[in-house]
Chains A and B, each alone.
Chain A
Amino acid sequence: MKRLAIFLKSYIRECILAPLFKLLEASFELLVPLIMASIIDSGIGGGNNAYIIKMGLLLVALAAIGFGASCAAQYFAAKAAIGFSTELRSALLKKLQTLSYSELDSIGSSALITRMTSDVDQAQNGVNQVLRLLLRSPFVVFGAMLVAFTIDTKCALIFLAVIAALCLVVFSIIFITLPMHTEVQHGLDGVTAKTRENLNGVRVLRAFTCEAEEETEFEHRNERLTALQLKVGRISSMLNPITLFIVNIAIIALIWTGAIRVNIGALTQGEVVALYNLMSQILIELIKMANLIITMTRSAACAKRCAGLFDIQSTRLSGSETPSDAAPHGSVEFRGVSFTFPDGSAPAIEGISFYAAPGETIGIIGGTGAGKSTIINLIPGFYPATSGSVYIDGLDVKQFEPSALNARIGIVPQKAMLFEGSIRSNLLMGNAHASEELLLDSLITAQALEIVESKPNGLDERVEQGGRNFSGGQKQRLTIARALVKQPEILILDDSASALDYATDAKLRMAIRSMKSSPTTFIVSQRAASIRYADKIIVMDDGKLVGIGKHDELLKNCSVYREIYSSQFSDDGGTV
């Protein structure tokens, strides 16, 4: 929580002024019953018209000042709360962008999205309410009691009792319902998850005619949510009637005691009226405070979750060196590299060593889960090696200055993903200053020019969220072009041609090979054909490197490679 206070730092002025103005308003409100008492006792009692009018004008003046103070308070509170949430959201994104792949994996995107959206909103609401009410409500409650003591000690004791009773009721109801609110939240999460899943799987669900079962399942969850909401509602809706009841009982006691005190001359009629009015004020404020406490506990839980994100230590690499210019450009070396995922028990890759010379094409092949993707994720240091070292241009990636490392590597991930914007904005992602010519060259090499040409707006064609207005193959080629625009020394294709047909795949590989800049190219693939002509082929099996060499050599002396190859070329397509 303290951690989040810094986001209010630029709003210290607002944070002080908002409650201050609220207190000002509250003080004026407390004066009103006293003025009324003197109107009754001195004005009516003394038959003094002028006095009454003077006091009436005073009431108007107090109202006006109160209004001004209250508007000011609302403004400052809103400004601080909105400023707080704006900066918090921005800082959360900034922090999130420094997290390494391991941390992103373990937190999960849906949790991160919740932090940045609804959690921040709740925290904002909390700040706003706290600034407005946290000081004001207790001030009015205790202020009213103090004023009561100045009027009459005996009657004021009733105030003391009623405040204690009200606090007891209000807090017990809050503490009973709070855990129930958490349950409701879980219920809502369940409904959300079902909705998301249904939308994402709509094609498969419809293909298997699962609509009816989906509806039943959704209705079941929705039913549960409603039941939980009603359960909380049953208890929370007792709050108002009970408080109202208690206060009125107190008023009954007050009038009875007042009557006795007036009868012996210890109290005036006007003062009884004043006490009665003060009691009403306490009731209103206590209800406000109960609501505030509910908001606060909810907000605090959300704020805590946000703060937790800032506590995560990023394991992302942050070296400061760059290799000397004399070093070869585009060399990659693994020396005894092993890597275990944070939550994994067995290493994903173990004891991997190889050298890729500048300009070489390296194929990586192996079954699912053999560790192919892990190897290439270690090259840009997305995951740091658990043991052993990865060298690029002769420098350990752990020592590399991050942006210098990033600039050297162009990666095409398995899942082709485009961002909302235009084709151009997507291509410029890794290299904001690329020339038009470079964009076109990259598109040609990636076999993606025809996509752009087929669009009415060319490079400025709109890309919808997730690139949903492009087919899988189109997206894949555009993501390849995007990597090429970076003009990387090292190009990594992580099974990036899976949605391409053999012909396009082959053309693509040829185009990359004939590139002028001739980057060192890593091709991860399940298809033997895609890597057959690589300078070196790395064969992975169950996290271990079981063969490295050219196609013909491997065919001779690597049984795993032979098996993979024959599984794909055993039929009459084998002549391909």
Chain B
Amino acid sequence: MLKIKRETYKQIISSAREALPNEACGYLAGTSDTITHCFPMTNTDASPEHYSFDPGEQFEVLRKTRDLGLEIIANFHSHPQTPSRPSEEDIRLAYDPNIAYGIISLVSEDEHFNLFRIKDNKVIPEGYYII
């Protein structure tokens, strides 16, 4: 079970809303099982239906997290028009077995955020609570 700092949770949600109508994306970092930092990143696809990270920006964030003594715990992206669960495309492209994949749905006024582990095309929900 992961923990997410309330301020970080708010940052995830606000970055998803700011990116509308496109999908937002980014990394979530912290220590051990606690997510304390949100790093919104450029969606190079600039699309309401797809996202890709910029590799250069990925390395910048990686080094920033290291400098802060953090590790990357999860990524996140938004689904502006669909529920908070992995699409076929999300599962197909979930290569990293070491992190959780977060999805925020903005379908309703009250956003929904879920985390998943995705490995070998299998999706396992990862619980979390806000601290």
Are both chains from one complex? no
Q: What residues of chain A have their CB less than 8 Å away from a CB belonging to chain B?
A: none
